[in-house]
Structure 1
Amino acid sequence: MKKENINATYKDKSGLRSLLFVPVCTFTLLCFCGCAEMTGYSNQSLFPGEVSSVCLEMFDNKSFRRGVEYKLTDALAKRIEASTPYKIISSKDRADSVMSGQIVRVSELLLSVERETGQALEKELQLEALVNWKNLKTGELLIDNKSVTSQATYSTYQNQDFNYASALAANNLARGIVELMEQEW
């Protein structure tokens, strides 16, 4: 009889343990749900707040194609003014930050050729630039030699030429550079 009492007592304790296990685990999970930092939606700006103005220097051109650096610098100045809270300042002394860079590659690719004459029907222009952005107040490099690329297609049969494609690619490259200026979230 004593063995039966011991087994009955053990069964009662194991049933009690399993009844307590579920609420304790549930309480523990509820306590730790939401302990991570909130990284969801926010109304805060994606651009660094300690900077309010940018001195945009003329991009250097390391390629053999001339004039692309003017188009890129102009497109970038317009894109910064339109898409960011920053103002373009011509003097480094009055600006909070300075942006500079260099065009390292301008290349053309042949996309399609006319079968009979062998003339190019469609080409693609590719631009690649290295970008630097420095906070002049703190000396911190906000963008450190990051590479940005862009492409634009054009067709001589549609009266489009290299100048058209380079302006389009420079605008696309400026959009990519402004996206680099955003803080990661």
Structure 2
Amino acid sequence: MKRFVLNLLLLSLLSIDLTGCGYTVGNSYQPDVQTVYVPIFENKTFRRGFEYQLTEAVQQKIQSRTPFRLAKGAEADTRLTGTIKQINKSVLGTTQFDDPRNLNLQFVVEVTWEDMRSGKILSQQQVPITADVVSLVSAASFAPEVGQSLATATKTATDSLANQIVQLMEMPW
């Protein structure tokens, strides 16, 4: 009986100790940030239209996965800006008649998240290119023979990039 009471006491102390270690359930975001302004991403490539798709995907991910609200310009606490640096489309394999069988679409994007109240950069990335810029890469392959198109690959790549960008907004451990 005495052993049972000691084990129960040890178990309760251990459970109290573990709950105080700072663990949280779910994602944690900056508690002092309520709103985010996401202007249309800048596009430094010759391929037009991708900046609108990526901006829309990022805005949708912020609304669905974070507690942040989207706001306009000066009304927002923070600003998330991005620049599409490269868009590459390459052939991975061809048919016997040199028609593309598999293609690859790759985006390279730089993202900056800054606090508009203080001007401080809120970068969550461990190894950014510079102190205030984070570079992200996303790729998607597609096969025209089976009905996939550049549009489906673009959707896949932009969704992947949007997920990566929103993950940058999470607080580090």
CA distance in 2, matches of 1:45, 1:109: 36
Matching of residue 147 in structure 1 with residue 135 in structure 2: yes
1:103 counterpart letter in structure 2: I
TM-score (norm 2): 0.79
TM-score (norm 1): 0.74
CA distance in 2, matches of 1:141, 1:149: 21
Q: How far apart are 1:134 and its partner, in Å?
A: 0.8
Q: Which runs of 4+ in 1 moved over 4 A?
A: none
User: Could you tell me the percent identity over the aligned residues?
Assistant: 30
CA distance in 1, matches of 2:63, 2:76: 14
CA distance in 2, matches of 1:88, 1:46: 18
1:61 counterpart letter in structure 2: N
2:76 counterpart letter in structure 1: A
Q: How far apart are 1:123 and its partner, in Å?
A: 0.8
Q: How far apart are 1:45 and its partner, in Å?
A: 4.5
Which residue in 2 is equivalent to 1:104? 85
CA distance in 2, matches of 1:109, 1:184: 35
- Choose from 41, 64, 70 the match for 1:59: 41
Which residue in 1 is equivalent to 2:6? none
Q: Within 5 A, what are the aligned runs for 1:33-48?
A: 38=21, 41-43=23-25, 45-48=27-30
Matching of residue 76 in structure 1 with residue 58 in structure 2: yes
CA distance in 2, matches of 1:154, 1:44: 33
Measured on the aligned residues, the alpha-carbon RMSD in Å equals: 1.8
The structure number with the bigger radius of gyration is 1
Which residue in 1 is equivalent to 2:68? 86
CA distance in 1, matches of 2:54, 2:162: 7
Q: How far apart are 1:132 and its partner, in Å?
A: 0.7
Matching of residue 179 in structure 1 with residue 140 in structure 2: no
Which residue in 2 is equivalent to 1:160? 148
CA distance in 2, matches of 1:51, 1:140: 13
Provide the aligned length of Structure 1 versus Structure 2: 147
Which residue in 1 is equivalent to 2:76? 95
Q: Structure 2: any 5+ residue segments left out of the alignment?
A: 1-16, 124-131
CA distance in 2, matches of 1:44, 1:113: 44
Q: Structure 1: any 5+ residue segments left out of the alignment?
A: 1-33
